Amino acid sequence: MTKVGVIQMTSGPEPEHNLSFITQQLDKSRDAGIDLVLLPENALVCGKKEDYHQHAEPLGDGVVQAKLSVLAQTYQTWLVVGSMPIRRENGVTTTTLVYSPEGRLTAHYDKLHMFDVDVADAHARYRESETFMPGNHVVLTETPLGKTGLSICYDLRFPHLYAELRRAGAEVILVPAAFTATTGRAHWETLLKARAIETQCWIIAANQGGVHQDGRETWGHSMVINPWGEVVAELAEGTGMLTAILDHKITAAVREKMPLTQQARFSSVFKNEKAKDEKADGEK
């Protein structure tokens, strides 16, 4: 068995303010025996395009990432930053960062699916692709929770990604998010349960929750769901940390009784835009 902590936040545009809240939550749980802590999407910066680009750092380098590394070391826990802006050669990605208790950046994942949609809320128009460039890699990494798949927010609506993570061996899938109140009320829990049931994985979901400085309202309801689709822990409203025990015997039992991967007769193909572009360049 392993223990996970999930921090629900109402992040703003300034990293220092958000880091202060994260530190407070980690300090409260110092003696709780938590193996891994998950932060939500946009944990360090949640604001407008200018805010993300102003605070973006090169991968593995920068003041904010150095402080995150120190936090993991100080509290001797695996720390998964749901996402923060990372500066690349051709733009900025919104990227999950995975730190070991030694403060080492062991894995990262660039969000694949950009939230370009119209929502019936005060914000109305969301065009994430105007701020970030999408990633091009599916990422599975080792953590104390087992083989851990990485995803971010809008990815949740694309089951092929989760099927690919399961095919690659995922036992747990992380879903840091900033789901809006409107879409969250309609679909958040339903989608999380579906991904758990389909993949027979533990789903650990950390959501932003509340009204943010730019007026955006997020749904909260961070939760942990077992491979049978049951919610074992939830923080509906407000901010703070929820904890849950992951019993990996449940995973083995569910998969043995219902061997979905052996019975599946369909497969999916990942559209890697970067690989396609590189091939086209080579043919010129």
Active site residues: 41, 111, 153
Q: What separation in angstroms does the CA of 162 have from each of 26, 106, 136, 198, 281?
A: 29, 21, 15, 8, 30
Total number of residues shown for the chain: 284
Give the whole-angstrom CA distance, residue 128 versus residue 126.
Answer: 6
The closest of 42, 33, 57, 54 to 8, measured between CA atoms, is 42
Give the whole-angstrom CA distance, residue 68 versus residue 79.
Answer: 8
Which residues, in sequence order, are bridge partners of residue 246? 2
Helices (H), 37-150: 49-55, 63-74
Helix axes 189-199, 159-167, angle to 10 degrees: 30
Beta strand 202-207 with 172-177 is: parallel
